[in-house]
Amino acid sequence: MKLSHQFYASPQLSDSTSRTLPTPNLAFHSPSTECGVRPHVKSGRIVGGKGSTFGAFPWQVLVRESTWLGLFTKNKCGGVLITSRYVITAAHCQPGFLASLVAVMGEFDISGDLESKRSITKNVKRVIVHRQYDPATFENDLALLELDSPVSFDTHIVPICMPNDVADFTGRMATVTGWGRLKYGGGVPSVLQEVQVPIIENSVCQEMFHTAGHNKKILTSFLCAGYANGQKDSCEGDSGGPLVLQRPDGRYELAGTVSHGIKCAAPYLPGVYMRTTFYKPWLRSITGVK
């Protein structure tokens, strides 16, 4: 992250690529029902484009691709835990030929097992790609990963809350997290990165893309976040990861998931996310999430 997204998810698109407030001390009462809480974070503010701290984003998932019967695995995308059995990611993160996906929950530093609590890895039993996904436009760039067995929630493994059906986050600051590239064409971090970006009204986002000379259509199902001058953004490797905001009750909810962009943190080219409220009926029909 630059957090700057770039995802060459589709060969026909050479340049279109895929990709707080003081926190109240919320008690971790019932691991089975609490969503959007951060038991490891007592207080403090998020600063853009910095390394996170262990357990600060317990809904973050690392999606890895396994090939040759597990002989080779590579970090592929981000994801977000929404129930004990389901993870949201991007449709363009689906596995390649003869490959399978694994989901790692509770991960923080991917360079080794240095954390105070161990991450949990689950095989993905089923990849449910949105039927109307269009790799040429990234429309409906959403997929659900069904885990082969439920993950047990813990202080560092917590599902994100769903937003209200009619929630509008325009103008608010949101936080995007991931292990994606630190800049366009740059290296990848070992520690989970976080950055704050403002959510932009779709019509303004559309104008920004036009100003940059791109005729990309910003659909109602899309959500844009970023700055006119670039600077902060998601980047290649962040795709499928969460864009979250804090609710008045202190919990966090999912505004969108990283989809795509053009380069990373480039002027007038904000990051494009899948808008969670638009896809709630689809998510609910498969997972039952409210």
pLDDT the model gives residue 83: 98
Q: Tens digit of pLDDT for each residue in 81-122?
A: 999 999 999 999 999 988 999 999 999 998 887 778 999 999
Q: Is 148 a catalytic residue?
A: no
Bridge partners (DSSP) listed for residue 126: 146
The closest of 273, 269, 272 to 213, measured between CA atoms, is 269
Identify the residue with better confidence: 266 or 159: 159
**Catalytic residue selected from 16, 141, 156, 221:** 141
**Three-class SS state of 53:** coil
Q: Is 141 a catalytic residue?
A: yes
Q: Is 239 a catalytic residue?
A: yes
Residues 113/213, Cβ–Cβ less than 8 Å: no
pLDDT value at 15 more than 60: no
47: exposed, middle or buried (C-beta count within 10 Å: 0-12, 13-18, 19+)? exposed
Residues 277/169, Cβ–Cβ less than 8 Å: no
pLDDT value at 45 more than 60: no
The closest of 146, 153, 134, 147 to 18, measured between CA atoms, is 134
pTM, two decimal places:
0.87
Written as six digits, the tokens of 12 are 């026909």
pLDDT the model gives residue 21: 36
Backbone φ and ψ for 197, nearest 5 degrees, come out as -140, 145
Written as six digits, the tokens of 227 are 């700055």
Residues 6+ apart with CB under 8 A from 281: none
**Catalytic residue selected from 18, 221, 239, 259:** 239
State the CATH class of domain 17-21+160-277. Answer: mainly beta
| Architecture, CATH, for domain 58-159 | Beta Barrel (2.40)
Give the single-character DSSP code of 22: P
Q: Where are the domains of the chain?
A: 17-21+160-277, 58-159
Fold match, 17-21+160-277 / 58-159: yes
**Catalytic residue selected from 5, 92, 130, 260:** 92
